[in-house]
Structure 1
């Protein structure tokens, strides 16, 4: 409870900022959902159920549900201290699940880009488990000591965390660290693809779209994650909820668009790939037909989900990129071939 008039005035300003920030973040996420709803129906709901589809739903709809709940709670705010505490517990764990869902999607795609390398899978899995464990420990320790006031000022009802431990800002450190690892892997593969293709960045290439969207995703989400960590470390506990909604909204928006843009590119004709790889024109056309619901038998179908989840190989099925292992073999064979010819 504030001890002076000046502290009470600052708290009132913080409460207004919290409500405005949460409402803005929710409206931005809902607006993006509405303008991409037609893509979602065509590219998600009309396709078969798979792990990537489940992860998309968790990222988009669980994230949207948390944002709506936050907006209602912080605008209405008429609840007991115990209910307010339970809300913060739900908010923390649900938001973490949204982040984890998107990170699993990114891991699956990175694995497909690198030819399903077992050593890379072990490394990414270990880092992801360590991240989840670190976040879980920080959340668990924080929720044991956190105090939430449902009415921080007489007549002003809003869930306000007080008594936040000093280490709570560290919740964002494992997320930022793991995101940097994923981003570095995508960046390396994208740079190699750009040098290898030598034809610039075409708008319909699966690899180009993946790298482009990954840049946007990592830039926006990392920016919001780092901002949250700085705010939680340097400002008072009443500022805890000011940037949090934007981090969740960015994760939902960019995560959903990463999936939608990739699927839109896949289910559209591969114009540039067909022009550059004329000998594979008929094969790519047949693959596109099967992926969009042809009459081929189940055993011969190729789905985007299979490519995303490592059940097949992008290099073999679309000609878009080669796994790192294949490129390494080619580079090792190149010197011996040149020496024999000499």
Structure 2
């Protein structure tokens, strides 16, 4: 089955394509706004840290969206754009979007593994699930991109690329994302309930759970809405939320790491206060909460997120 549009594009299609462009511009504005809002946090907490896998993943999830968002806006806003140029920009943009979402999911998956104490069983479940999700997603993306057909607009003054055919298999990739996010959210909720039964609702570990649950609910909701748009909306709006979903994966996964560092810094400052003569005041934590925090710190430090 192939999605097709007629060679003569009705005015409704132009209007829908403009809506998609406006949505992508709004997503780009959100990306820039959040970057400026959190730049000082990144500069003070991320840049001075030691290089490890999580720092590399952070920089990828932080800066890759500027590449694919730029490519998308280029082919959507440029006038008199050739079919060849459309393909030359659309294809790498598609792969960058997939790569960016995968990087964000890897960050959140590692965070989930950490809250389970780097359990071998949970590690196997997450690792196998990630492979089961990644391999077909890459195949689906290749099939989808290879199926795309572009045509010139009737008027060269019309901005953007006219996509006239594409395989609807791309919807399956969002189903995979939704299933994987459901698994990770479920594991986070299970461990979070166990944590809140024995520990207070503040501090480093609570930030780990809070961000995991709240952010995954956001991402899950966006993925579901995106799937509904692809399946039910007019074909001209199939990519309506693609860039928005990509940007939100970047913003939320980056904030997970920055929030952890901020919480860690606050707890070290609090520890300094506890060592003072005023330590008999209400700065102390329960034994279970402190042991929980130290356990997670060991699981995160050096392997998952360098918080030193």
TM bracket, shorter-chain basis: 0.7 to 0.9
Structure 1 contact 150–158 (Cα < 8 Å) conserved = no
Q: TM-score, normalised by structure 1?
A: 0.76
Distance in structure 2 (CA, Å) of the matches to 1:24 and 1:172:
22
Q: How does 1:185-196 map to 2 (within 5 A)?
A: 185-196=187-198
Partner of 2:302: 306
Partner of 1:322: none
Structure 1 contact 152–160 (Cα < 8 Å) conserved = no
Q: Which runs of 5+ in 2 are unaligned?
A: 275-282
Q: TM-score, normalised by structure 2?
A: 0.84
1:114/1:3 CA distance change after superposition, 3 Å: closer
Partner of 1:262: 260
Does the alignment pair 1:275 with 2:277? no
Structure 2 contact 198–289 (Cα < 8 Å) conserved = no
Q: Give the RMSD, CA atoms, in angstroms.
A: 2.9
Partner of 2:49: 47
In the TM superposition, residue 20 of structure 1 has moved relative to its aligned partner by 0.8
Distance in structure 2 (CA, Å) of the matches to 1:152 and 1:14:
17
Distance in structure 1 (CA, Å) of the matches to 2:249 and 2:197:
30
Structure 2 contact 144–168 (Cα < 8 Å) conserved = no
| Match among 123, 126, 136 for residue 125 of structure 2 | 123
1:49/1:17 CA distance change after superposition, 3 Å: same
1:13/1:277 CA distance change after superposition, 3 Å: same
* Aligned-partner SS, 1:257: helix
In the TM superposition, residue 70 of structure 1 has moved relative to its aligned partner by 1.6
Question: How many residue pairs end up in the alignment?
Answer: 289
Distance in structure 1 (CA, Å) of the matches to 2:184 and 2:168:
28
Partner of 2:219: 221
Does the alignment pair 1:231 with 2:229? yes
In the TM superposition, residue 189 of structure 1 has moved relative to its aligned partner by 0.9
Q: How does 1:1-342 map to 2 (within 5 A)?
A: 2=6, 8-151=10-153, 155-197=157-199, 199=200, 201-202=201-202, 205-270=203-268, 271=270, 275-277=284-286, 305-306=301-302, 308=304
Q: Which runs of at least 4 in structure 1 moved beyond 3 Å after TM superposition? A: 1-4, 152-155, 270-274, 277-281, 302-305
Bigger Rg, which one = 1
Structure 2 contact 45–258 (Cα < 8 Å) conserved = yes
1:303/1:178 CA distance change after superposition, 3 Å: closer
1:152/1:41 CA distance change after superposition, 3 Å: farther
1:227/1:152 CA distance change after superposition, 3 Å: farther
* Aligned-partner SS, 1:227: helix
In the TM superposition, residue 85 of structure 1 has moved relative to its aligned partner by 1.7
1:3/1:68 CA distance change after superposition, 3 Å: closer
Distance in structure 2 (CA, Å) of the matches to 1:225 and 1:268:
33
Structure 1 contact 146–164 (Cα < 8 Å) conserved = yes
Post-superposition Cα deviations, 1:167-203, rounded to whole Å, max 9, x if no partner, equal: 2211211111111111111111111111112x4x12x
Distance in structure 2 (CA, Å) of the matches to 1:222 and 1:112:
21
* Aligned-partner SS, 1:156: coil
Distance in structure 1 (CA, Å) of the matches to 2:7 and 2:163:
17
